[in-house]
Amino acid sequence: MIEHKIAYELIEEFVFGTLSQEEHDQVEEHLDSGCEQCAVRYREVSELSAQLGQAVPQKSPASHVKENLLKQILGESEFDSKEVSSKTIWPWVSAVSIAASLLLLFWANSLRNELLQVRDELHQSQGQIARLIQDSSVQKDAAFLLGLPCSWLVDLKGVEPNKDAFAKVVLNPKIDFAVAYVYRMPPSPADREYQLWIELDGQPVSVGVFKVGQDGQALLKLQSISDPMSIQSFQVTIEPKGGLAKPSGMQYLTGMNAMPAMPSMH
């Protein structure tokens, strides 16, 4: 280790960055050893250095520098949280490219913590593309149902304290699936999902689980609706991720009155 006197003399150069690697490391080691006098000088010179630096004519770096940086740190934080499992991503991830899946992984993870602006900028657009791929196939199903002469719409209304939330379910007596549009729902917490139930013979039967993002919306296809006309009511509850066999959580939406989707044609 170098003596204090030598280290002290090298602090200006240490801060300005012009020392050889060897000397640089020696001064750093001396500072790390806790020498108070050198620490004070280091602080003085480095604060001045920051002021001198601000006098250099200012230019902004190209936008790709920020993009690359953020990509890199997002990649690193994903390595840090290995517990991101396939359950946290939307089931249709397999339908999109590997690159998009990776981005979606980040996206899903960001929803779990809080929706961060950074991730929005970088990944939301990719997330939305993947979501549109999914949505467009459900949209087709919805358009198909709505195009049939005997389809029905069920209004699901928000339950306190989420009165603003609502959903529309499109179903048809002759078709074994239905489509639900959900709006103005609170974003689902990371470890929970909404579950949609139909009531048959007084018993709740699960017809699907779904997440809601910051936009408060969801579009989902309800499979295996064997006899749509025997449905007595619909409800949406919040449940542990993946859903449960019976509703246990708070109710968010409820509805039972069906009306023809296209009255004029019915």
Partner 1 sequence: MNSGAESSQIAIQKDKRLFERIRQGDQRALAEIYDHRSSLVYSLAFSIVGNVDDSEEVTQEVFLRVWRKAKIFDPKRGSALAWIVTMTRRLAIDRTRSKSYKSQSRSVELFSQIDESVSSKHYSNPTDEMLLRLQTGEVTIALKNLNEKHLEVINLSYYQSMSHSEIAAHLESPLGTVKSRLREAVNHLRNSLNAKVRSND
- 51 sits near partner 1 (criterion: CB under 8 A): yes
Query: Looking only at residues 73 through 112 of this chain, which bind Zn ion when binding is defined by CB under 5 A?
Result: none
Q: Does 85 bind partner 1 (CB under 8 A)?
A: no
For the chain, give the number of residues: 266
Nearer to Zn ion, 38 or 178 (CB): 38
Give yes or no for residue 4 binding Zn ion (CB under 5 A). Answer: yes
Inter-CA distances, 94 with 79, 105, 110, Å: 21, 12, 19
Which residues, listed in sequence order, are joined to residue 140 by a DSSP beta bridge?
Answer: none
Torsion, Cα 194 195 198 202, to 10 degrees, reads: -110
Residue 73 or residue 259: which is nearer to partner 1 going by CB? 73
180 - beta bridge partners? 169, 220
Which of 2, 35, 84, 118 contacts partner 1 by CB under 8 A? 118
The first and second tokens of residue 191, run together, are: 């470890």
Three-class DSSP category at 171? strand
35 binds, among Zn ion, partner 1, none (CB under 5 to 8 A by kind): Zn ion
Cross-strand bridge partners of residue 206: 197
Q: Closest Cα to residue 222, out of 164, 176, 168, 261?
A: 176
Task: Establish if 53 lies at the interface with partner 1 (CB under 8 A).
Answer: yes
Q: How far is the CB of 55 from partner 1 (least distance, A)?
A: 4
User: HSE on the CB side for 251, CA within 13 Å?
Assistant: 13
User: Residue 117 binds what, of Zn ion, partner 1, none (CB under 5 to 8 Å, by partner type)?
Assistant: partner 1
Q: Which residues are near partner 1 by CB under 8 A?
A: 9, 12-13, 15-20, 24, 31, 39, 42-62, 64-66, 68-70, 72-74, 76-77, 116-119, 121
Binding residues (CB under 5 A) for Zn ion: these are 4, 7, 35, 38
